Structures are given as C-alpha cells and as structure tokens.
Amino acid sequence: MSYNKQELLGTAMPDAAVVEHLRAHPDFFAKHPDVLMEATLQHSSGPAISLIERQVAVLREHNRKLKHQLQDLVQIARDNDRLSERMHRLTLALIDCTSLEEIFIALHDSLRNEFQADAVTLRLIARPLQSTADEQSGFSVDTLFADKDDASWSAFKGIMNNGKPVCGILNTTQLNHLFGDQATDVASAALVPLANPSSADRAMLSLGIVAIGSYDAERFHAGMGTHFLSQMSELISRAIRPYLS
C-alpha cells in the first residue's frame, strides 16, 4: 500500500503509512534522534518499568529543563541588549545638553519614552551655579532643588548615605515628597542617588536623587538587579556636576 504525500498533508498520517515509511527508511531514528527522544515505547513487561526506560524518561525531563533555562538566558540577553541601547541613547542625549534645564528635559523624556516610566522626578540638594528660568515654558531650575534640612528629605538619608540604587514600594512621606500629585498613583519606584565622584568628603558627596515611578506594583521590586541603575547614577551625576556649586 502506498500513500500520496498530498493526500496526507494536513491530516493525521495512518499507522500503516508510518510503518511503511519506517520500513523504507530503517535509518530514520538515527537521522532524527530528537524524534526518538520524544517517542513513548511500550514493552511487554506489564506495569514494571525497565531501568533503561526510566533513564530515558529522566533524560527527557532534564532536556526539557535545559531548554527552558536556555530560553530564559536568551531572553535575559535580549533584555540586556535593549537596556544597553537605551542607555546609549540617554548618554548621547545628555552629551548634547548645555544647561541644567536641558538635562532635566532630556532625562525626563528618555525615562518616560525609552524606559516606560510613569513618573520621573529629579531632586537636587546641591545648589545651582545660577538660577535661571525658561521664559517660554516657565520652567525654573529652582523647582528641581530640595532643602536638605527639610524634615521630609530625612526620609532619604539612608539611601543617600548608602549611595546605591534601591527598588520597591515607597512610604507615604517619600511618595508625596517625590511625586506630588502623582503620589497616589505610583505603586513602585526605583530611587537612584546622585553623588559627586570627585569629592573625598562624604558630607559633601550627595548631589540629589532621581526617582523613577511606575503605576505597576510589580515593575520595581527589592529583588531586581540594579546594575543599569548604578550606571545611570554615574552618568547623570557627571552630567549635572558642571552646573552645580
């Protein structure tokens, strides 16, 4: 009995056709070992399972786990590539800035558009070299600065002293101080402390903080990596340093 390939296309192949094909190609499983790994072979030993069959089942499960691990690693690599590209574009945008206002706008646009942040805040405690305002937009660099003696600013003292980015859920005082009208909407955030890398005095080290807020409570959590946030901290700190006293 012979079967036309076109007749079998799109339908389940009859057992007889499978038998005929395997007889015509006795080396099929040698050429396609992956098919043999997925096949279920019965034997006449009743409910007992041979050691070889058990070994094959264990190897199949191990193979599936390795495939999943490989897929996870590939996804992480792709995510890191995308983050690297975004960091590169942010770097280029900050290089082109010639004022503190332009830095704030470039940072805000990049974090909102490139990094999908729902809220962005820059708060500086180091004072500007000069206070200027954009007459067209009404933007003033004075709005970026916080009084380091303000009681609400003490809620960030531990983060600033540690000097490392943190992610998670903020308390009410922190949310209100950083996000204002958006405080009730921000469910999780990343806090990126800024520091003067050339200062040897810890008391003069802190420059301020960048807060990246999300309406998704799962977006930023305590267990996530902060490597790119640390790089962002160094990048922004060097960009704003020439404009601060």
In a domain, 183, yes or no: yes
Q: Which residues neighbour 220 within 8 Å (Cβ) at sequence distance 6 or greater?
A: 167, 168, 188, 189, 190, 212, 214
Q: 187 near 214, Cβ under 8 Å?
A: yes
Task: Note the pLDDT of residue 11.
Answer: 56
Listed residue (199, 204, 200, 191) closest to 127, CA to CA = 204
- Judgement on whether residues 74 and 142 belong to the same structural domain of the protein: no
Listed residue (162, 151, 245, 139) closest to 209, CA to CA = 162
Q: Is the pLDDT score of 137 beyond 50?
A: no
- Around 189, how many Cα atoms within 13 Å sit in the side-chain half-sphere? 26
- Judgement on whether residues 66 and 143 belong to the same structural domain of the protein: no
Q: 223 near 201, Cβ under 8 Å?
A: no
Q: Which letter does DSSP use for residue 106 in this model?
A: H
- Judgement on whether residues 80 and 121 belong to the same structural domain of the protein: no
Task: Note the pLDDT of residue 151.
Answer: 67
Q: Is 168 exposed, middle or buried (0-12, 13-18, 19+ CB in 10 A)?
A: middle
- Judgement on whether residues 117 and 221 belong to the same structural domain of the protein: yes
| pLDDT band, residue 5 (cuts 50/70/90) | very low
* DSSP helix/strand/coil, 43: coil
More confident residue, 34 or 170: 170
The label of the residue with tokens 């992480």 reads 76
- Judgement on whether residues 67 and 104 belong to the same structural domain of the protein: no
In a domain, 122, yes or no: yes
Task: Note the pLDDT of residue 204.
Answer: 47
- Judgement on whether residues 35 and 139 belong to the same structural domain of the protein: no
Listed residue (205, 121, 200) closest to 163, CA to CA = 205
| pLDDT band, residue 208 (cuts 50/70/90) | confident
- Judgement on whether residues 76 and 178 belong to the same structural domain of the protein: no
In a domain, 189, yes or no: yes
How many degrees, rounded to 5, is the angle at CA 180 between CA 178 and CA 183? 85
In a domain, 184, yes or no: yes
> Measured between alpha carbons, how far is residue 125 from residues 49, 106, 167, 226 in Å?
71, 20, 21, 23
In a domain, 169, yes or no: yes
Q: Is the pLDDT score of 200 beyond 60?
A: no
Q: 155 near 123, Cβ under 8 Å?
A: no
Mean pLDDT, rounded, for 148-152: 67
More confident residue, 55 or 231: 231
Q: What percent of the chain has pLDDT over 70?
A: 74
In a domain, 108, yes or no: yes
More confident residue, 27 or 36: 27
More confident residue, 238 or 50: 238
Domain assignment of residue 52, given as a range: 25-84
- Judgement on whether residues 184 and 145 belong to the same structural domain of the protein: yes
- Residue ranges of alpha helices (H) inside the chain are 5-8, 15-24, 28-31, 33-38, 51-95, 100-113, 157-162, 172-179, 227-240
Task: Note the pLDDT of residue 203.
Answer: 46
Task: Note the pLDDT of residue 12.
Answer: 62
In a domain, 19, yes or no: no
- Judgement on whether residues 38 and 101 belong to the same structural domain of the protein: no
Domain total for the chain? 2
Q: Is the pLDDT score of 212 beyond 60?
A: yes
Task: Note the pLDDT of residue 55.
Answer: 76
- Judgement on whether residues 101 and 38 belong to the same structural domain of the protein: no
Structure-block tokens of residue 133: 């305002």
- CATH number for the domain that contains residue 126: 3.30.450.40
List pLDDT tens digits, range 111-122.
999 888 999 988
In a domain, 1, yes or no: no
Task: Note the pLDDT of residue 80.
Answer: 79
- Judgement on whether residues 103 and 78 belong to the same structural domain of the protein: no
- Judgement on whether residues 148 and 206 belong to the same structural domain of the protein: yes
